[in-house]
Amino acid sequence: MTAKILDGKRVATTILEEVAHQSDRIRAESEDVPTLATVLVGDDPASAIYVRKKNETCEELGMRSVHEHLPATAAADAVRDTLRRLNHDPAVHGILLQLPLPAGLPEEELLDLIHPDKDVDGFHPVNMGRLFLGRPRLVPCTPQGIMALLDHYAVPCRGKSAVVVGRSNIVGKPLALLLLQRHATVTICHSRTADLAAVCRQADILVAAVGRPGLITADFVRPGAVVIDVGTNRISDEAEFQRILGDDSPRRASFEKKGAALVGDVEWRSVKDVAGHITPVPGGVGPLTIAMLMRNTVQAYTIQKGIDG
């Protein structure tokens, strides 16, 4: 048996088309434009690429983006001032503070400064609290994208056993709450979970979100389970590439040319022959995260205009 691929790119394309239609309708009815503000502190190359991609996607969807770039030496007060100014700007509907921040900046405090109605990442305590209470509004993008993927492929959650490996505030915890709201029985695992493989083997839906290349092997997976790989890890070791992707991987030529490859937390080579459904890396969960960011920006607009359903 070879697992069916859950194609995140395809689902993300559908979501982005819906967002573009919503944006067009807003412009036609009000001559207004849903606007995302991105804030980048420092010059981390990966962060700069991520921010540029978000801004480009906004423009492609007929939305507006504004960008604030502060130097790596910026004091916390300068970041606070920027966030407060964007909070009070009625032409800005969503605010994203790109992580990670340079060392020394108070990440949680700065994220908490973003107004809950403009918090398109869904990280503010108010939005997390609403999610906990089963009254979600702006939901973290990656967990929301995973649920959209499950919906698209008609993967049932009700009555199923779901195991989430990873307890981060960004993915693990909010995803567990979303699955619980769909009537799954949810287990959250972490670095201190005893006999992790045995717990994972109980899962009908297994989500790996720990940032450890190839942690989840075939021994962790119940035959026929749905495996969602959230990990994005860059590897450069030949033996590690072979272990995770296998000798005959179509990505080998690219690995040999670039000297590195992106892999997930799942050992693709072995798990694809055990799972019933599986997400690839890249092309699985990743595209859905930015699609949900765009959807959240439009939703933030509707909230601020008093037209949120």
Residue 119 bears catalytic tag: no
Structure tokens at 154: 């008609």
> Matching CATH topology for 32-118 and 141-286?
yes
Half-sphere exposure of 173 (CA within 13 A, CB side): 11
At 86 the pLDDT is: 98
Q: Mean pLDDT score of the chain, rounded to an integer?
A: 96
State the catalytic residue, choosing from 22, 98, 144, 299.
Answer: 98
State the catalytic residue, choosing from 54, 160, 173, 272.
Answer: 54
pLDDT greater than 70 at residue 308: no
Residue 121 bears catalytic tag: yes
Residue 54 bears catalytic tag: yes
pLDDT digits (tens, 9 = 90+) for 189-198: 998 999 999 9
**Once rounded to an integer, what is the mean pLDDT over residues 161-188?**
97
Q: Architecture of domain 141-286 in CATH?
A: 3-Layer(aba) Sandwich (3.40)
pLDDT digits (tens, 9 = 90+) for 114-152: 999 999 999 999 999 999 999 999 999 999 999 999 999
Q: What is the DSSP letter of 118?
A: G
State the amino acid at position 151 in one-letter form: D
Kindly give the pairing relationship between strand 233-235 and strand 261-263: antiparallel
**Once rounded to an integer, what is the mean pLDDT over residues 288-292?**
97
pLDDT digits (tens, 9 = 90+) for 225-249: 999 999 999 999 999 999 999 987 8
Cα–Cα distance for residue pair 301/55, rounded to 1 Å: 17
Written out in words, the top-level CATH class of the domain with range 32-118 is alpha beta
At 306 the pLDDT is: 86
At 309 the pLDDT is: 47
State the catalytic residue, choosing from 22, 117, 119, 121.
Answer: 121
**Once rounded to an integer, what is the mean pLDDT over residues 2-14?**
96
Helices (H), the chain: 8-30, 45-60, 76-87, 107-113, 125-132, 141-152, 172-181, 196-200, 238-245, 252-258, 268-271, 286-304
Cα–Cα distance for residue pair 233/248, rounded to 1 Å: 20
Model-level pTM? 0.95
Domains of the chain by residue range: 32-118, 141-286
At 19 the pLDDT is: 97
